[in-house]
Structure 1
Amino acid sequence: MSFARSNGIVLHFRRAGRRGGPRIVFANSLGSDLAIWNEVADALAAEFDLLFYDKRGHGLSEVAQSPNGLADHANDLIGLLDHVGWQGAALCGLSVGGLIAMEFAVRAPERVERLVLMDTAAKIGTQEAWNTRIEAVLQRGVAAIGGQIMERWFSAGFRKGEADAFAGWQRMLERTPAAGYADTCRALRDADLTGAIAGISAPTLVIAGEEDLSTPPELVADTARRIPAAAFRTIAGAGHLPCIERPGEVASLLRGFLSRDGRLHAAEQGGQGPQRQNKE
């Protein structure tokens, strides 16, 4: 295990893959740790230099002593890249990790080689909904909402067919420190990059699980349309965490996108391409 102090916070991180290969850094969702990428890492390790980390308040990373916002999360990631000596990399962010990646791309575009946004949006949820969740978690712990969150995270097929794995991932969620979870909820509540992402210049791939109830495909697709050089793809049979449910497909999409010569084909720009969208 590796740890680094970044932006005043001790972060847990892991390196994997081929040193000297194309670099990818992965940012996790709310209530998860870096283990959600394990199978994707296995599929990409022979070709890419991979960096995973637990964001503040999650996994083995430190919980902040005061409330923090999206800018703090982006500064954490900037400091971590400095620590490992990466001036630039491709960023792959899932859910709030996608918002962190977007904030990073807006603030430090020269350090973003490619951008992959998975099951995320420029604005997620409402102030009222986040405040309700924050109150519940601080009063009763993350386990109090664990069942509700898991129903929104995973497809019906995964919940029925992978019961043991489903139970294991629920334990990961429910072990998240309440203070760290609530602080990240506040960052999500206050974050709105709807206007800012029009300035993202990096080639971007936006991915949505077709059965995602947390960030439905139509919401994810709307974010793709707002980024000038973005392509949009869906993954059938996956919920909010395609890296767990469909790691092979996620790895294939990443490999194809990140191995190109730096340009998206014209037919893929502006969020075009196959789009099968769920309705709530």
Structure 2
Amino acid sequence: MQVADLGDVQLHYRIDGDPDGAPVVFANSLGTDLRLWDAVLPHLPTGLKLIRYDLRGHGLSSIPLAPYSMGALIRDAERLLDLLEVRDCVFVGLSIGGMIAQGLAVKRLDQIRGLVLSNTAAKIGTAAMWRQRIDAVNTAGLETLADAVMERWFSRGFRATPEIALWRSMLLQQSPVGYAGCCAAIAGTDFYTPTSGLRLPTLGIAGSEDGATPADLVRETIDLIPGSSFSLMRKAGHLPCVEQPEAYASVLSSFLRRIGHYG
């Protein structure tokens, strides 16, 4: 277990692949941890340095008092990459991880040479919606949201498989404080203007059955960045890396190859 002590927060992280390879950094979604990417990594090319971490309040990272700001989440990623001496990475962010990716690219372009914005947007939902979710978690815990979250996360076909129980369990293992803290960060974020100023290789990935960030919303954000590309994964929900890991890895690998990040 590797933990980066950043002072006000301790982030659990893991490095796989080639320690001297080109870095690819993965940031997880709300209510998951770095295991989100477990099934994708074996299908990626050799020669890459694969860095994953748990967002604050998630997984094995520490749980500061809520609420959190998006600025704090971006700063966490920035300080972790500085600690690991990472430059020119491709940053893969899913959902809230994709918001962090956008903010980090605006702030520290020296750290990022390419973005993969997966099942995310410049703005997700409304502040009122997130306040309702925070109130529900603070009142009754994550169990009260679990079934509705599974519907947003996964396609109908995947929800009919036994594997759904693992992901419901992962959600319930997260800290209610951490979950509510990150909800507050999303509620306060609108990146339409800063993201429209980005000029770097960008890939958008969406799921056709995503109930959290519908494909049109993802495409709208990707279109803010000139020269970006977009990939729609059919019969996949909010976590296509879970439902279709091999296909997800293929889309990601093609992007990495196209921008010359390996090979």
What TM-score, normalized by structure 1, do the two folds share? 0.90
Query: Displacement, 1:20?
Result: 1.9
RMSD (Å) for aligned C-alpha atoms: 1.3
**Are 2:66 and 2:180, in contact at CA under 8 Å, matched by a contact in 1?**
no
Match of 2:44 in 1: 44
Match of 2:99 in 1: 99
Query: Displacement, 1:230?
Result: 1.1
Aligned mates of 1:204, 1:261 — CA distance in 2: 10
Aligned mates of 2:6, 2:200 — CA distance in 1: 25
Q: Which is bigger in relative contact order (C-alpha 8 A, separation at least 6)?
A: 2
Match of 2:194 in 1: 196
Q: Unaligned stretches of 5+ in structure 1? A: 264-280
Aligned mates of 2:203, 2:7 — CA distance in 1: 28
Q: 213, 235, 238: which one pairs with 1:237?
A: 235
Aligned mates of 1:261, 1:194 — CA distance in 2: 24
* C-alpha distance after superposition, 1:135-158 (max 9, x if no partner): 000111111101110011000011
Aligned mates of 2:45, 2:185 — CA distance in 1: 32
- Partner secondary structure for residue 234 of structure 1: strand
Cα–Cα, structure 1 residues 210 and 66, in superposed 2: closer, same or farther, change >3 Å? closer
Match of 2:213 in 1: 215
Match of 2:4 in 1: 4
Aligned mates of 1:17, 1:8 — CA distance in 2: 29
**Are 1:16 and 1:45, in contact at CA under 8 Å, matched by a contact in 2?**
no
Aligned mates of 2:136, 2:45 — CA distance in 1: 39
Equivalent position amino acid for 1:252 in 2: S
Query: Displacement, 1:259?
Result: 1.6
What TM-score, normalized by structure 2, do the two folds share? 0.96
Equivalent position amino acid for 2:186 in 1: L
**Are 1:154 and 1:240, in contact at CA under 8 Å, matched by a contact in 2?**
yes
Aligned mates of 1:45, 1:165 — CA distance in 2: 26
Aligned mates of 2:132, 2:108 — CA distance in 1: 33
Q: How high is the sequence identity, in percent, across the aligned residues? A: 42
Aligned mates of 2:4, 2:62 — CA distance in 1: 10
> How many pairs were matched up?
261
Aligned mates of 1:136, 1:32 — CA distance in 2: 18
**Are 1:109 and 1:200, in contact at CA under 8 Å, matched by a contact in 2?**
no
